[in-house]
Amino acid sequence: MSAVPSVQSSAAALDRALVDASPVEIVAAAVREVGRERLAVVSSFGAESAALLAIAAEVDPAIPVVFLDTGWLFAETLAYRDALTSRLGLTDVRTIHPRAEALAREDENRELWFSDPDRCCHIRKVEPLARALAPFDGWINGRKRFQGGDRAAMAVVEADGARLKFNPLANVSQDELKALVAVMNLPPHPLVASGFASIGCMPCTSRTRPGEDARAGRWRGRSKTECGIHVAAPSRD
């Protein structure tokens, strides 16, 4: 029997059990279900990353944390990664990079973000994450329903191929997230103060204008709204 139907069944059962659970309860349930050594938190160390990382550290600071350094990140994001890792006492943060041969073959002039942003995301984020998650049976991410778009109707627990995918902040509102950050006295990403509400790679991130949703500054002017990590797409490798 394929493992995928079993994962789908487990995800559905866990989602029903955790539909009203708090973020801490969801992370703790993920550790119990999957086991710390087989579970990873995937974090961009972006504008809204601190809360999830603090919750994971509260449950178990040794949960592996996967961070994708695409080669196009703001220097402030790299510094924020180091500051939060130290502040929260995270003991297993793994920085993952794109394959050098893929960059040399497809993006030698570093212009792929402009000509084919989907492909740029694939070689700089999607493929590296797939490689990084290979040893794990489950992963945790920081998406929220209030971010809108494809995220508005997501479950608390999903099947992601043969893995379980946990969304501990799915039910949290923007005001609740701000309150959580304040209570935990977490430092903001350095770029938030200058108008960046959602922070990814430099070429594809812009400031958010008043009244826009948090992710409006990502891939501005394009129909693209996701890097590909959270959507099913065929690999071209």
**Annotated catalytic residue: which of 120, 121, 204, 227?**
227
Residues 84 and 192: their CA atoms lie apart, in Å, by 15
Q: What is the CA radius of gyration of the chain?
A: 17
CB 158 within 8 A of CB 167: yes
CB 83 within 8 Å of CB 179: no
Structure tokens given for 67: 């961070």
* 8 Å CB contact between 42 and 140: yes
Phi-psi region of 219 (alpha: psi -120 to 50; beta: other; left: phi over 0): left
Residues in the chain: 237
Question: How far is it, in rounded angstroms, from Cα 39 to Cα 66?
Answer: 10
Angle 196-197-202 (CA atoms, 0-180°, nearest 5)? 45
- Taking each helix axis from N to C terminus, what angle separates 50-59 and 23-34, rounded to the nearest 10 degrees? 50
- Could you confirm whether 120 is annotated as catalytic? no
Report, as residue numbers or ranges, the catalytic residues.
227
